[in-house]
Structure 1
Amino acid sequence: MTDRTNSIGIIGAGAFGTALGCVLADRNAPVTLYGRDPGLMAEMAARRTNPRLPSVTLPDGLVPSADDSTIHTHGTVLFAVPSAAQAETATRLAPHLASAAAIVMCAKGLDRETGHTITDALADRLPGHVISVLSGPGFAADIASGLPTAMTLAASGQTDADRIAATLSRKAFRLYASDDMTGVQLGGALKNVLAIAAGIVIGAGLGESARAALIARGLAELTRFVVANGGRPETAAGLSGLGDLVLTATSAQSRNYRFGLAVGGGQSPSELSGEGQPLVEGANAAVTAAKAAAALHVPMPVTEAVAAVVTGKEDVATVVDRLLSRPLRSETA
């Protein structure tokens, strides 16, 4: 019988899934990277590169494959597909997973149908499996290149979080365990929204001081939303909240920041998010989170402003004027 204990499979051969495969793969413990395009996976296997990460050579221990019939051989399975595809992926693979396989959700967003965290949707489709989430400040190119990266691995129980974090941690890829799945996921989803806002600020020429204020006030509303949903404020101040926010709100490597930069510079959100354009998770998350915040009576002015801009309801000048016209208040209120 095959020993599945240390075997890792990654679903999703995009940049992030490939980066995780690069850092986790070892000659003595190969990692299988599953993609749905047979031609692309064959090319990756032959050329040892992924067009999404052209400067990175795939390690020998990373095995690209389009045949997910071997998914049952893995004790740990990482779902590295976009947030909108997580539920469908779980439904499709549920009958083929090993009964004791641990599932690691590696997307940052909210379930668009329910507004809930993505792991809630996975739990409904994968009963009996330990489900966890990987989130925090980590760009694919940095991870794949072996640059030092620290992220959060959260599960509903600390023991499971500790175990899975230990399984996936490497010398330069350090995972800190948490049992606050709600806080970790909401931080990951909302930092994308705030990265769009930060990009808009710079693209519109509002300056670095305005961006710093945006990051600070954005973190305040992110924390309010986390707490209102049962998460912990210290999680919002950790790697999956503040850490990820600082990274994505200040770097052009972030798709969400680049999207905001272009919108702030005058480009149309609908054109930038159309067919063939890079996926911008924060645009959908803004709309979902704004709706959820209103239902909970949680003030989230920056998130509401981003939602208004990305849906075309208001332009950048209008939302900036509204934000600057808000009444002054205590910073900690």
Structure 2
Amino acid sequence: MKQKIAVLGAGSWGSILANVLVENGHDVKLYTNSEPQAQELNEKHTNEHYIHDFTYPEALVATTDMRDAVKDAAAVLFVVPTNVTRLVAKQLAEVLRDINTRPLVIHASKGLELGSHKRISEVIAEEIPADLRSGLVVLSGPSHAEEVAKKDITLITAASDDIENAKTVQNLFMNNYLRIYTNTDIVGVEMGAAFKNIIAIGAGALHGLGYGDDAKAALMTRGLAEISRLGIAFGADPLTFIGLSGVGDLIVTCTSVHSRNWRAGNQLGQGKGLQEVIDNMGMVIEGVNTCKAAYELAEQKNIEMPITEAIYHVLYDGKDIKDEIALLMEREGKAELD
């Protein structure tokens, strides 16, 4: 059934998810705060800064007016950087109060709020009260916008406390190249999505330093152990971390040049400084802020996360990557499953 959907955020993932929804027969308005970007999408049907050599359907309409995007929408999809999620949620709440509607709110961003260390769904729930929305769903998993744009086979997860809301999102997005599974473990899905970006920076750094597949496999395996350890401490289901938003997302982010976090780590491994890497990227590197959040949460919960700690020291204390790797390898021996 055709529905009106508002997508907030016209970056690579937001614009491609909007494209999926249009291809699935829905009426989609894509909100951006950039007038030149909206003009490019509407007139040229391109979004070159984020997705090269891709033409969007003429039916996809971009706007800089959030009210126009959200009016009469059955669902509103957030795909904005973590550091502006609270601001955009506040703006949306004002619009929803004004137009007196209760859409299903979905988010497809990956990270934790800097400072509060709150998950994105927690931030959205704080700013958009339950009386302004019909539900809240997290959409996450191993996915690159560039590959979904090419209609490569992609499987991701829709998670919600209300399984019917998760099924609604499943029906909105699923087609012959994008398959959606449902889950009720929002905590695990969001934490897996956020923390894998830290390990991806490490994987990129190993590549930049010239290490081989053995080292990368070791990093991903032990990185998953750290992600699971911290997520479980906050109430996540352990099984979520061996699913799409856990090991699945970890694999794709740690092995692909499409990953900004991997590319950032690769440049760090080649000897570039963090600020130079950030300047070169031109887009948000979520793993940098998430690493700080994970490091502080691990200290708070007294959870051992040596890989995260090593990456934190490189990013925030200016430590040498090779020295941190040596310290990791020289740690006292322990049982694998401890």
| 1:91 is the counterpart of 2:93 | no
The match for 1:123 is 125
Q: 1:56 aligns with which of 40, 49, 54?
A: 54
Rounded to whole Å, the distance in 1 between the matches of 2:205 and 2:36 is 38
Alpha carbons of 1:312 and 1:76: their partners in 2 closer, same or farther (altered >3 Å)? same
Alpha carbons of 1:151 and 1:60: their partners in 2 closer, same or farther (altered >3 Å)? same
Deviations 1:41-62 (A, max 9, x none): 1121111111121211101331
| 1:15 is the counterpart of 2:12 | yes
Q: 2:301 aligns with which of 279, 296, 317?
A: 296
Rounded to whole Å, the distance in 2 between the matches of 1:209 and 1:223 is 21
Partners of 1:119 and 1:131 within 8 A in 2: yes
Rounded to whole Å, the distance in 2 between the matches of 1:108 and 1:10 is 16
The match for 1:206 is 211
Matches for 1:102-113 after TM superposition, within 5 Å:
102-113=104-115
Rounded to whole Å, the distance in 2 between the matches of 1:321 and 1:229 is 30
Rounded to whole Å, the distance in 2 between the matches of 1:15 and 1:202 is 24
SS at match of 2:333: coil
Matches for 1:1-333 after TM superposition, within 5 Å:
6-26=3-23, 28-51=25-48, 52-70=50-68, 71-97=70-96, 99-128=101-130, 129=133, 130-274=135-279, 277-333=282-338
CA RMSD of aligned residues (A): 1.7
Instruction: Please tell me the residue identity of whatever aligns with 1:250.
Output: T
User: Bigger shift: 10-19 or 154-163?
Assistant: 154-163
Alpha carbons of 1:329 and 1:276: their partners in 2 closer, same or farther (altered >3 Å)? closer
Partners of 2:173 and 2:180 within 8 A in 1: yes
SS at match of 1:54: coil
Give the TM-score of the pair, scaled to structure 1: 0.95
Percent identity over paired residues: 33
Rounded to whole Å, the distance in 2 between the matches of 1:311 and 1:273 is 13
Rounded to whole Å, the distance in 2 between the matches of 1:219 and 1:283 is 18
The offset of 1:165, in angstroms, is 1.9
The offset of 1:27, in angstroms, is 8.2
Partners of 2:8 and 2:78 within 8 A in 1: yes
Rounded to whole Å, the distance in 1 between the matches of 2:78 and 2:243 is 23
Give the TM-score of the pair, scaled to structure 2: 0.94
SS at match of 2:235: coil
The offset of 1:305, in angstroms, is 1.0
Alpha carbons of 1:263 and 1:177: their partners in 2 closer, same or farther (altered >3 Å)? same
Rounded to whole Å, the distance in 2 between the matches of 1:96 and 1:82 is 20
Instruction: Please tell me the residue identity of whatever aligns with 1:108.
Output: K
- Gaps of at least 5 residues in structure 1 are none
The offset of 1:99, in angstroms, is 3.0
- Gaps of at least 5 residues in structure 2 are none
What is the count of residue pairs matched by the alignment? 330
Partners of 1:270 and 1:310 within 8 A in 2: no
